[in-house]
């Protein structure tokens, strides 16, 4: 069963777990859900996040940092947060967003079993390509986890069809090529990519990479089911950390998310 979104556009909120610490991540996620996020993507911090821009790279560095008294954030920690969120907000969508290396080290079968036990809905492994995903998909299916794949504007139709065919939660349409990060205008490639994907799937299509304000959010709602916002949220957390007020991050995130939805509601 695909992940459903309450309104259009739905909102997928990406957070780097452990930034600035695990309890604050939990509070930020709860605030985001209560402010209107349909799905929380819990990002597993990774030491070599090649697909991420500088904002999320710095967040991973903060989450992985050892301070002499605590360990850096692990995949096990992320799954524990997911379980806590599932208990606290059973209606919210929960996705683990990771590179494959942390999952491989944890053990693919062990990870899938733990994710199912935690109440995770779906998994997005950013460097897992559909052509090499048979074992991965088999484990996810066994543990009732929804696979989510990235679809790029540069992908030919035959590859988009293959991605759509194995996706189960939603399809993540990348609005542009390159790394994550905010941008001033929404890439024109996004609308065309969504249109191409519609030929191959009835799943919800969420557009991400570069969506950073209410204008982008409303624009995505004209042609896609949901928007994924990551770097803009992570930057808000970073700003609160840098000014010595990490405890204010949950309320800062909530204000931002409510600001995204307000103009959309007024327009309808």
Q: Are 257 and 36 in contact (CB under 8 A)?
A: yes
Between vectors from CA 98 to CA 218 and to CA 78, what angle results, nearest 5°? 100
Nearest to 190 by CA among 204, 173, 203, 178: 173
Q: Is there a catalytic annotation at residue 52? A: yes
- The single residue listed with the structure tokens 């969506």 is 211
Distance in angstroms (rounded) separating the CA atoms of residues 98 and 268: 36
Of 52, 121, 238, 240, which one is the catalytic site residue?
52
Distance in angstroms (rounded) separating the CA atoms of residues 254 and 192: 31
C-alpha pair distances (Å), 226 with each of 34, 112, 180, 211, 267: 17, 26, 17, 11, 17
Collect all residues with Cβ–Cβ distance below 8 Å to 141 and sequence separation of at least 6: none
Of 19, 38, 41, 121, which one is the catalytic site residue?
41
Give catalytic residues, as residue numbers. Answer: 41, 52
């Amino acid at each position: 069963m695909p992940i459903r979104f309450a309104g259009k556009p739905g909102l997928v909120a990406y957070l780097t777990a452990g930034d600035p610490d695990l309890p604050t991540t939990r509070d930020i996620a709860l605030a985001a859900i209560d402010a209107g996020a349909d799905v929380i993507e819990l990002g597993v911090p990774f030491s070599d996040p090649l697909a991420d821009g500088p904002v999320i790279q710095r967040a991973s560095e903060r989450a992985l940092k050892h301070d002499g008294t605590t360990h850096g954030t692990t995949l096990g920690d992320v799954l524990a947060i997911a379980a806590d969120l599932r208990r606290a907000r059973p209606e919210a969508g929960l996705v683990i967003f990771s590179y494959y290396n942390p999952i491989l080290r944890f053990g693919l079968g062990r990870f899938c079993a733990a994710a199912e036990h935690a109440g995770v809905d779906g998994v997005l492994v950013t460097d897992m390509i559909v052509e090499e995903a048979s074992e991965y998909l088999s484990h996810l299916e066994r543990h009732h986890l929804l696979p989510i794949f990235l679809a790029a504007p540069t992908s030919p139709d035959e590859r988009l069809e293959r991605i759509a065919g194995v996706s189960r939660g939603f399809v993540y349409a990348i609005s542009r090529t390159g790394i994550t990060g905010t941008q001033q205008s929404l890439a024109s490639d996004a609308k065309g990519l969504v249109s191409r994907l519609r030929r191959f799937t009835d799943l919800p299509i969420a557009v991400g990479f570069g969506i950073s304000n209410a204008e982008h959010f409303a624009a995505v709602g004209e042609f896609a089911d949901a928007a994924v916002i990551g770097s803009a949220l992570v930057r808000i957390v970073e700003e609160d950390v840098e000014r010595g007020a990490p405890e204010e991050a949950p309320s800062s995130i909530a204000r931002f998310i409510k600001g995204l939805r307000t103009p959309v509601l007024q327009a309808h």
